[in-house]
Structure 1
């Protein structure tokens, strides 16, 4: 069976003759790029603590307003002490994660010179890729957070968006989290000096609180997320963490909710 799209629903070539496929060729028209991402992910939230960084992102990919894919991992470990979280277009995220970053890591391993890419190197590379695509008006529709350790083995956290805008802060979030999660995180981390007073347990609890608030207030979020904790021992990345003390469960007892019949 011929699965080529241009042949769907038309007579067979061996009986009725070959089809004129010239219309499929590039006729010199205007080149088009994505302007409205379809399948997207929402917020990525991260916070520095004394000795590391905590990052979280939910596992939902929305097809417009439809909660379509519920097991999308939007945090990727890169090397031994670096993680990258991405919000925005899922296909562009997969291009960054599975093609560009994997290629960079493979080339780095080929050198076998004892040097390892750390968070600032990965961040600088991704920010330049985003800016390069912006200059071509062929955007990668993503907002990324990069966390890990720098060359001095200090916690590193920075962000870049589809325009190539770069900035760093002890507390960062993308998407709707920039409005809802950042005020929560800045209560305990208003500046870099306050990071030394934050323990790993406090940072994890603050991130979990942000994910809970986002689940209640962001229509493109869900109650399962990926949680990454970076410490001197390495990266502890857990997928499918369930939201604790979920208040929406009361809806299951409401007559007429979901699959229940009135």
Structure 2
């Protein structure tokens, strides 16, 4: 089904004018508003972000995401931050619809502000933020009006790292390495080899190198990715999100691929 009403054509001329602008006192008695009897829901995401990667390392959690928000297949917005600090111990990374992520940022800001005003010395940790988001995502899904996002929540609580996933269906799980979007297919094997199968956790330098390599692979393979990205770290000392970084990429290998460019043999 085509979910875009503008592609459906317009009603017959005797019901509406070309722009559906009849004044109320001139509206024909048999004129009907095609959308009056139903509540409209978002049928698909429009401006979207792609993969978010996250791993546990020796000091806590490290997360990476590029700065692109695509309008369909158009690389439209190239300075979007998809890693959002929440309080002092938590980071949330989002792929999917960016307007829905802005709504999630808004409700998380309200939640942290409310928690702060209590003045009891307590703030929300990563486990609480993840549980809250899981309930929000499932509630919206149950209303057939989901938030079109996949979220990674990471942080450090009582000296222990926490990393978990939640999506638009309210599905949740946790692991030492997680990814959303295309990264869940192409980066997860690299992350699991280095993190899940390792005898000990990576150092910060090793973790940063791993995520950078994975972001480079995604830029090579994912048409909705960008070579500009950010890395966030969460340790016992707090949350830190880097400035925009740029990948060092090389494309000269393509000259050796048969059928590429002007090759004839």
Q: TM-score, normalised by structure 2?
A: 0.81
Alignment partner, residue 189 of structure 2: 183
Structure 1 unaligned blocks of 5 or more = 1-8, 252-256, 258-262
1:19 is displaced (CA, Å) by 7.3
Superposition pairs of residues 111-190 of structure 1, within 5 angstroms: 111-150=118-157, 152-190=158-196
Structure 2 unaligned blocks of 5 or more = 1-18, 255-260
Superposition pairs of residues 22-37 of structure 1, within 5 angstroms: 27=36, 29-37=37-45
Q: How many corresponding residue pairs?
A: 236
Question: In structure 1, which of residues 210, 214, 219 is the aligned counterpart of residue 218 of structure 2?
Answer: 214
Partners of 2:89 and 2:155 within 8 A in 1? yes
1:178-211 C-alpha deviation (Å, 9 max, x unpaired): 01110001111126x84x4311111111110110
Alignment partner, residue 47 of structure 1: 55
Question: In structure 1, which of residues 228, 247, 250 is the aligned counterpart of residue 250 of structure 2?
Answer: 247
1:108 is displaced (CA, Å) by 0.3
Rounded Cα–Cα distance in structure 1 between residues aligned with 2:206 and 2:155: 18
Structure 1 runs (4+) greater than 2 angstroms displaced:
17-20, 22-27, 248-251
Rounded Cα–Cα distance in structure 2 between residues aligned with 1:249 and 1:24: 58
Alignment partner, residue 56 of structure 1: 64
1:226 is displaced (CA, Å) by 1.5
1:23-56 C-alpha deviation (Å, 9 max, x unpaired): 77973x1222112111100000001011211101
RMSD: 2.7
Rounded Cα–Cα distance in structure 2 between residues aligned with 1:101 and 1:188: 32
1:65-114 C-alpha deviation (Å, 9 max, x unpaired): 000111111000111111000000010000001x2101101100110000
Partners of 2:112 and 2:123 within 8 A in 1? no
1:116 is displaced (CA, Å) by 1.1
Rounded Cα–Cα distance in structure 2 between residues aligned with 1:168 and 1:249: 38
